[in-house]
Amino acid sequence: MTFKKEIIAEEIRNKIIAGKLKEGKQVLGRVFAVKHRTNLKTAHEAIWTVEAEGFLYHRSGAGYYVAAGAQEMAETQGMERIQRNLPAMVAKAKALGLSEEAFLIMVKNAYRD
């Protein structure tokens, strides 16, 4: 998976979670290609990735649209991803000798950004 493809796919998921891409809304590859200064193929590959995950569906001749229940599914998967990655982050903080308080301050600051 290319770096830009991953970024675009994550942006689509995040827009679904935030309600900026609502159920039934068309997702246009050219919008993401222009925004990320990449070719249309890369944007479409990102859309196909998100479609394969069940967040989008394809209507022949019409394009890609946000699937029913996609927002809830994206939220659930996002929380699961955080839960999977959190233990490794905590282990790294401990290995660096960070106190729990210092680690929590870092998390709070990152959350606010």
Q: Is the pLDDT of residue 54 over 90?
A: yes
On whether the CB atoms of residues 64 and 56 are closer than 8 A, the answer is yes
Q: Is the pLDDT of residue 25 over 80?
A: yes
Q: What is the mean pLDDT of residues 68-79?
A: 92
Q: Is the pLDDT of residue 2 over 70?
A: no
CATH number of 1-113: 1.10.10.10
User: Smallest Cα–Cα separation from 22: which of 65, 54, 62, 77?
Assistant: 65
Q: What is the mean pLDDT of residues 48-75?
A: 95
Please tell me the pTM assigned to this model.
Answer: 0.75
Instruction: Provide the pLDDT for residue 113.
Output: 81
Of the pLDDT bands very low, low, confident and very high (cuts 50, 70, 90), residue 78 is: confident
Q: What is the mean pLDDT of residues 9-36?
A: 96
5's CB contacts (< 8 A; 6+ apart) are 42, 45, 46, 49
